[in-house]
Structure 1
């Protein structure tokens, strides 16, 4: 069984309040995630106690993911999985935003458990967050 913590940092050329507004809805998560394709099927608002229900499209397969927003502050929010797809067992994701020298630094920290070794998951996480980074930076560059 794999267990670990994955962290990824993204520099966004926008004010923190603009970035926070972007992440105030899970609909934007779907927009910036190219693989797997994400579709939100619930209330997408980033507010404490809200359940976010997603469909994840992996080629010909559709998986379901349900998370609850367990904390929201001015600097971060946390989503914790209630229902995760194979091979995950647990997922806790902290999205932390802070202003630094005129940009916003976003740090994603994921605590996870899986039925496969973490060494096999980390490349997937890296690819997913790197793809999101490019999409977020592109979005704010064109605003």
Structure 2
């Protein structure tokens, strides 16, 4: 298994960050590549299955994740149906207060059919960098 982690310092309160983070609908606005569409109940609670369609229009593939755990300021989504090149996906989302500010943390454990260096450099790093910009834009309004 591989690990990818990223942090974003956000200019907001813990409550506002959690509110934003705990609804998968936020993905549709902050992820431009690949495009993300949500299906059904998008709220984060233990036992919920988050259903997404991801891709480049007009080609979309299904991505289903179950939320096995929601705790204080954190939740986990585990991919039960993930698109190529992923074979496994476990993503911990956290909101953490530190002395220098509030951080949204993405801690991802994944398995891929491609090497880690390739997935990190060409899929995850660009995707999460774009999300970071969208999150910062959202909280600067």
Q: Assess same fold via TM > 0.5.
A: yes
Contact 2:17 2:104 in 1 (8 A): no
Give the equivalent residue in structure 1 for 2:9: 11
Return the match for 2:76 from 69, 75, 78: 78
Which 5+ residue runs of structure 2 have no aligned equivalent? none
Give the equivalent residue in structure 1 for 2:124: 125
Runs of 4+ with deviation above 6 angstroms: none
Q: Structure 1 residue 33 and structure 2 residue 31: aligned?
A: yes
Report the count of equivalent residues. Answer: 140
SS at match of 1:45: coil
Give TM-score scaled by structure 1 length.
0.93
Cα offset for 1:101? 3.6
Cα offset for 1:58? 2.4
The equivalences for 1:108-119 within 5 A come to 108-119=106-117
Give TM-score scaled by structure 2 length.
0.94
Which 5+ residue runs of structure 1 have no aligned equivalent? none
Contact 1:15 1:102 in 2 (8 A): no
C-alpha RMSD of the superposition: 1.2
Render the CA deviation track for 1:120-141: whole Å, top value 9, x for unaligned.
1001101111100000000000
Cα offset for 1:60? 4.2
Contact 2:10 2:136 in 1 (8 A): yes
